[in-house]
């Protein structure tokens, strides 16, 4: 079997056999297939797509490319939560401690930034000394003790996905439904949780732009999860508008802490309540309505905030910066982006705003790039807000002031001010379960 034959077959729009997909996954993981050959196949998949059979085969091949974690020694129901990626999406930092504060066991593997979207691991690493490389035995110990551990891909978990994930980020092959579905679900299957909650982002800042594609992706992933015996639910949520006000690693840590203290923006708070409630329902903590009340209470009584502090301490992080976020590293420079006219902020191209943050140093353009954890954007105006000429739309932060001009241009290009107030957008569009297909 030759990788060039497999590339050519997919280039020509033909269905790959399970053995051909397994050959690619194994040999790319082991370094026999080169990056440039893998890039060619990924681009062919991006353009030609994959059948459900191919996607399932790719998912299982990646899940089986390394070890599979056994979480049986953790008592209780283990729930994993995953977002398909968005701008300002720091929900894991909020919803996971909320659920853990109510007895849900969360042993979560998270990823780094991909394209214009941020990554939970990068955000957590902006906390001084926080360890995102936790061995399986230690992860189990932490979850049994405090109920939660959030780490990067641990040990040899789905190494094929780790390599493919990084390559997609720099080859313009990110927003492909089969590649997203197989990437997400290979890690979820290998990670060993009993139940999976998927937050499928839809809109200009997501990898899927339309509701039709979002539902298709959600159904693909729910079907994969259910077929391997994991109760799986997906929510379709809005990413036409950045989530919350802060974009960038340290800035998002700050906003997550504020939200857990009851001082967060409405959209972020509401979404995290819904995500937590679904995690609780999957864990059989009560009816959905009862779970919503329980979720809200973890913010009101600050039990979720203190659970985050426990997690940071357990993973070696400096808890002083959680108690006092002014101790986190601040960017050297600040730049104000001003409105050019009066009106209402009627449109945000959220991907453009994500790219504006990336250009400040908050993300990676090449997979080996270092991140400026303090870089990012604080939105002072959001969709639907009244805007006056000369008012500040956003604050840009970076350690390199030469980056402001290009970032500001990108941000302005991604916003539209009109004379009429726009219609209010939904935060959550639908919920997908196995009963939906």
- 161 labelled catalytic: yes
Q: Which of 10, 90, 163, 187 is catalytic?
A: 187
* Residue bearing tokens 């309540």: 273
Q: Which of 82, 123, 307, 410 is catalytic?
A: 82
Pinpoint the residues of the chain covered by CATH 3.90.1170.30: 330-418
Q: Measured on CA atoms in the order 224, 230, 233, 238, is the torsion positive or negative?
A: negative
Q: Which of 168, 188, 219, 364 is catalytic?
A: 168
The class of domain 3-49 in CATH terms is mainly alpha
Beta-bridge partners for 195: 79, 231
Pinpoint the residues of the chain covered by CATH 1.20.970.10: 3-49
Instruction: Give the Å distances, CA to CA, from 391 to 321, 337, 399.
Output: 31, 8, 24
Q: What is the Cα–Cα distance from 345 to 434, expressed in whole angstroms?
A: 38
Cα–Cα–Cα angle for 378, 267, 429, rounded to 5 degrees: 130
**Spans of the chain below 70 pLDDT:** 113-116, 154-155, 365-368
Count of all residues that appear for the chain in the document: 437
Identify the pLDDT of residue 35: 96
Identify the pLDDT of residue 366: 66
* Residues 186/63, Cβ–Cβ less than 8 Å: yes
- 5 labelled catalytic: no
Q: Which of 80, 122, 161, 349 is catalytic?
A: 161
* Residues 188/71, Cβ–Cβ less than 8 Å: no
- 168 labelled catalytic: yes
Identify the pLDDT of residue 284: 95
Identify the pLDDT of residue 153: 72
- 338 labelled catalytic: no
CA torsion, ordered 269, 142, 371, 80, to nearest 10 deg: -50
Instruction: Give the Å distances, CA to CA, from 422 to 343, 386, 394.
Output: 11, 10, 20
Identify the pLDDT of residue 162: 86
Identify the pLDDT of residue 84: 86
Identify the pLDDT of residue 228: 87
Pinpoint the residues of the chain covered by CATH 3.40.1030.10: 79-156+164-324+429-436
- Domain 330-418: what homologous superfamily? Pyrimidine nucleoside phosphorylase-like, C-terminal domain (3.90.1170.30)
CATH architecture of 79-156+164-324+429-436: 3-Layer(aba) Sandwich (3.40)
Report field, pTM of the whole predicted structure over 0.75: yes
Beta-bridge partners for 394: 337, 379
Burial class (CB in 10 A: 0-12, 13-18, 19+), 324: exposed
Instruction: Give the Å distances, CA to CA, from 203 to 106, 249, 332.
Output: 28, 22, 33
Q: Which of 65, 83, 183, 204 is catalytic?
A: 183
């Amino acid at each position: 079997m030759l990788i060039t034959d497999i590339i050519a077959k997919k280039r020509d729009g033909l269905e790959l056999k399970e053995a051909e997909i397994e050959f690619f996954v194994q040999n790319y993981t082991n370094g026999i297939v080169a990056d440039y050959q893998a890039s060619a196949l990924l681009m062919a998949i991006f353009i030609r797509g994959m059948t459900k059979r191919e996607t399932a085969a790719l998912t299982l091949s990646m899940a089986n490319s390394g070890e599979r974690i056994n979480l049986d020694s953790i008592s209780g129901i283990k729930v994993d939560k995953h977002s398909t990626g968005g701008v300002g999406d720091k929900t894991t930092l909020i919803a996971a401690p909320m659920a853990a504060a109510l007895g849900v066991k969360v042993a979560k593997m998270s990823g780094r930034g991909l394209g214009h979207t941020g990554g939970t691991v990068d955000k957590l690493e902006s906390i001084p000394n926080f360890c995102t490389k936790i061995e399986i035995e230690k992860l189990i110990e932490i979850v049994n003790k405090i109920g939660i551990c959030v780490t990067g891909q641990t040990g040899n978990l789905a190494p094929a996905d780790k390599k493919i994930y990084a390559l997609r980020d720099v080859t313009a092959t990110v927003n492909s439904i089969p590649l997203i579905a197989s990437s997400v679900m290979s890690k979820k299957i290998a990670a060993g949780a009993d139940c999976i909650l998927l937050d499928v982002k839809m809109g200009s800042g997501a990898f899927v732009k339309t509701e039709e594609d979002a539902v298709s992706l959600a159904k693909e992933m729910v079907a994969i999860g259910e077929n391997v015996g994991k109760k799986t639910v997906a929510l379709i949520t809005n990413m036409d508008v950045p989530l919350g006000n802060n974009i960038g690693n340290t800035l998002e840590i700050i906003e997550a802490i504020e939200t857990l203290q009851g001082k967060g923006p409405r959209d972020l708070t509401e979404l995290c309540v819904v995500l937590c409630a679904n995690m609780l329902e999957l864990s059989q903590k009560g009816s959905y309505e009862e779970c919503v009340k329980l979720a809200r209470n973890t913010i009101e009584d600050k039990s979720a905030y203190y659970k985050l502090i426990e997690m940071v301490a357990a993973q070696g992080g400096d808890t002083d910066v959680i108690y006092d976020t002014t101790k986190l590293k601040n960017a050297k420079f600040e730049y104000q982006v001003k409105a050019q006219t009066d009106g209402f902020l009627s449109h945000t191209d959220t991907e453009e705003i994500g790219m504006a943050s990336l250009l400040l140093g908050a993300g990676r353009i090449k997979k080996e790039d270092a991140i400026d954890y303090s870089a990012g954007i604080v939105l002072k105006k959001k969709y639907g807000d009244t805007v006056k000429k000369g008012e500040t739309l956003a604050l840009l932060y970076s350690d390199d002031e030469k980056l402001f001009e290009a970032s500001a241009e990108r941000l302005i290009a991604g916003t539209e001010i009109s004379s009429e107030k726009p219609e209010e957008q939904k935060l959550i569009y639908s919920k997908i379960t196995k009963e939906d297909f």
